[in-house]
Amino acid sequence: MTSAPLAARLSIPSGPLFFPVTAYGSDGAVDLDTYRTHVRRGVEAGAAAVFACCGTGEFHALTPEEFEDCVAAAVEATAGRVPVVAGAGYGTALAVRYARAAERAGADGLLAMPPYLVVAGQEGLLRHYTELADATSLDTIVYQRDNAVFTPETVVALSRHPKVIGLKDGLGDLDLMQRIVSAVRTEGPAEFLYFNGLPTAELTGLAYRGIGVTLYSSAAFAFAPELAQAFHKALNAGDDSTVNRLIDGFYRPLVELRNQGRGYAVSLVKAGVRLSGLDVGGVRPPLHEPRAEHIERLVELIEQGAKLVEGADA
């Protein structure tokens, strides 16, 4: 059966799930003090959990040592108020190394990201995530996207592992997700969590809610927490009028802006955090900074979103 503590804490929709960016100083090194401030502000703004060093946190760009330092800093900054879930990825051996580093750093759980490069069959994927889940005492959420796409049967098998508590979907295939939810409901444990993990998950929130998936990662929360909180509250209250107003006036234009550049799902968010007044630095290569006109458009959208939250016309 699914282990209870982390699953129970994540299943309560008390606020958005916060994926902080990783702060770098002027010398390009990780800036742990600024990172702690970023995490602490997110918790104080109402985040239900902190997902440290995941996609938005540039997991791919961190050394194992930097990773462990950042996870420990996130644990320190949250001070037990909300759970900390850390990324783990690459090939099985290295993913296990990151998982054990996260455990040493005090994380409450793992977000298991796709293996590096290879496109594996279901048998290999099941073995990979099973070995990763077996490697520590931490509860694990498996991330479906890119080269890690699962059949319903594989998700059922993963759901039966005592330390695999959920599936985060970054693929966006609702037909597949509905079949996964149905299969686990009939053949898996009674409690299993699902997360909408698309880059700007609010845009598809209504669609995922229709198949029973209400948990989601909020990149916008990193730079516009009041707006993200307003959307989260409306979605969970069934206030579709407010949800649609925020989608039409902020989230759809944000996605259209995000689609203007590769890697903007990270670099545009990081630019937004800088616009909020916290200098978290730029992104590491191979990502690149947004163009000046795109940052200007982001400023306009943040201002427009604030007016929408206030109930004014934008």
Residues annotated as catalytic (active site), given as ranges: 143, 168
Terminal-residue alpha carbon distance, the chain: 48
**Contact partners, residue 169, CB within 8 Å, separation at least 6:** 144, 145, 177, 194, 195, 196, 197, 198, 213
Q: What tokens does 23 get?
A: 């702060």
Place of tokens 């670099």: 267
Q: What is the rounded CA–CA span in Å between residue 77 and residue 37?
A: 7
Q: What is the rounded CA–CA span in Å between residue 71 and residue 73?
A: 5
**Contact partners, residue 232, CB within 8 Å, separation at least 6:** 13, 15, 16, 218
